[in-house]
Structure 1
Amino acid sequence: MSRGITVKTALCLIPPENVWDQIQSIRSIHDKAYPRWMPHINLIYPFIPESEFANMKIKLDSVFNSEEPFEIEFDQSSFQYFTQKRGECTFHLRPKQTENVIELYKKIEKVLPNYLLKDRPFEAHLTLGQTTTSRISDIFIEMKAKWKTITFTVDRICMISRENDPNDLFSIKNQVLLGESMEEDHDNTCHSNDVCSKPTILPSLSTKNYLCIIPPFEFSSHLLHLFEGTSFRPWKPFRIVLGECEESNSVNLQIETITKFTLNFGPRSICFNYSNSQLFLKPTDIDSLERFNINNDNNFDGRLILGELDKNDLTEVANRFTDTWKYDTNEFQIDQVHIIDSNDRFQNTFKLKTQCFS
């Protein structure tokens, strides 16, 4: 394997979010990596540092832009598992037809032979969780009884990273599109009365930046367990949006004198917006947060946005939050703030001052 690789990045296939519900409902209960990883099929892991993604994209584009997209199907026969030490096992979904994924992997192997693990053969799989071999049969019976077949199109290879994420969570940083050059060639063939133009494969990305507070991983992980088995769709990461900002230097000047502080949430902090199904927590005291209200927004309330939830699950989630509420798990120290763009990419981080006592 090549040097200069890291376990904080991966090259993988990611199903579209509209097929995540069944997968995430299982992973939220059984997969210890649920908070950190999105549903994925790894192609190369570990992978190159995030700083090398742009050059890697150029290299992979030249090979895979001409490859046709293909479909993956997960049905009841897709439930499989790997045995491990001490009677443990990892269970997963294996594509019903693996030929296309294997063919894709073989082409990656030719392009990047020095980045692949040589100690085991490639087996396309999407991890669902961990258990013991004594329990796996019962778990599969229960899951297969509820499972509805998932089919989706693989039209891109994703480069994901957690290198610069303060909560150590993976997010998509770059993509290699399949079939892009073929689509362009087809679209650029003019017919009578047609206006030829290069197609837009992806929508243009907004460049708005927001000053945000991101809770620590332990705090977020504790909250995620409250939503197991519900319709909850999390924002990644959870965040307090302090305001829209344009210039990092001006933001730094505004907050450079602010010291670290602790933010608390009470047993009745959980709130729900019925108009947009947004679930959030309201701090017990926002005086410290008001110093970050850079846009002087009169409606600023310091809410920690968690995600979206179907209103039918609201009572259950609220009861879980109240029943499990403790001081030590419902507060966290704020020692830094971040600038995140509207595509969830971290642009900058500012450390807060340490309180000095004379």
Structure 2
Amino acid sequence: MNNVTNRSADLSCSREPPVAIEIIRHLNVFDIILYSILTFMAAISILVFIEECVYIYRKVPAHKKSLIIWVNGAAPVISSMSCLGMWIPRAVIFTDMTSACYFAVVVFKFLIMMLEEVGGDEAFLMRAGKHKLRISTGPCCCCCPCLPHVAITRRTLFLLKLGSFQFALLKIVFTILSIVLWYNKNFDVADTSITGASIWIGPFVGILTIIALWPVAIVFIHLRTTLQTRKIVPKYALYQLVLILSQLQSAIINTLAMSGTISCSPPFSSQYRGYMLSQQLLILEMFIITLVTRMLYRRQYDPLPIEEEVPDDNENTKMVAIPSSA
């Protein structure tokens, strides 16, 4: 009992996160091997991404290059930022926010990429002009099957794009605001009081995230059959997996650390030990996702065949035909 009390009272459990040189001094043999392997994985992720960028610039049409590069870069960017956060704990708030901002842009880019895969906005409207869009899907309205179907028009397409673009823009705005407040000692993720800035910014950004994911899910369900030959289902699954691991997993681990479930381990306090565990897991997970992403996106980007323009019977479960006015 005394040992537990002494450990909880250890000053190293309540101080600021250590600097990089202090981490190096505390590394034992196991830590040296672990940090070396994870750093190697992060470096390989970056090299694989660079090689993929070279391939995309050589083989992919010009209007798709930047979109595919942005989407491919999600896992390598998160992996590299996590590696920096692992070695420099005092920079964790910046590395996490950089990863979150990048993924916010990826959400919008993934939506545009699906549209470009069918030929762009005009081709999308031409293919879907005789159908209605089912909007009773996650993450907003999966429990509302009674919602009316929406006609696919230019205005509808604009609203879908706007729903995802607002997250890419406002996430960056709130990130800058959070950093400014953090420097002014007004922002602390561990502060859950009603007067804390994080208790207001966090849930609001969460709402923006849900709103942004909704249009992507709507378009994916609509084009799932049309883009089946483009392996859109596994691509969407990887996109969702990156979201879950980088946002939900990290939030759970950080919550456990702030509640004291994850004990402190000098030179790390409970909170920053949770951050370190999260960073290390992300490096491993994003390394695997980077390799799988390379296999999915490394292909010839030919136009869709003409016969794919007519939706089959399976696609009628996602779209409802507009009755002709006679």
| TM-score of the superposed pair, with normalisation by structure 2 | 0.22
Structure with the bigger RCO (C-alpha within 8 Å, sep 6+) is 2
More strand by share: 1
More helix by share: 2
| TM-score of the superposed pair, with normalisation by structure 1 | 0.21
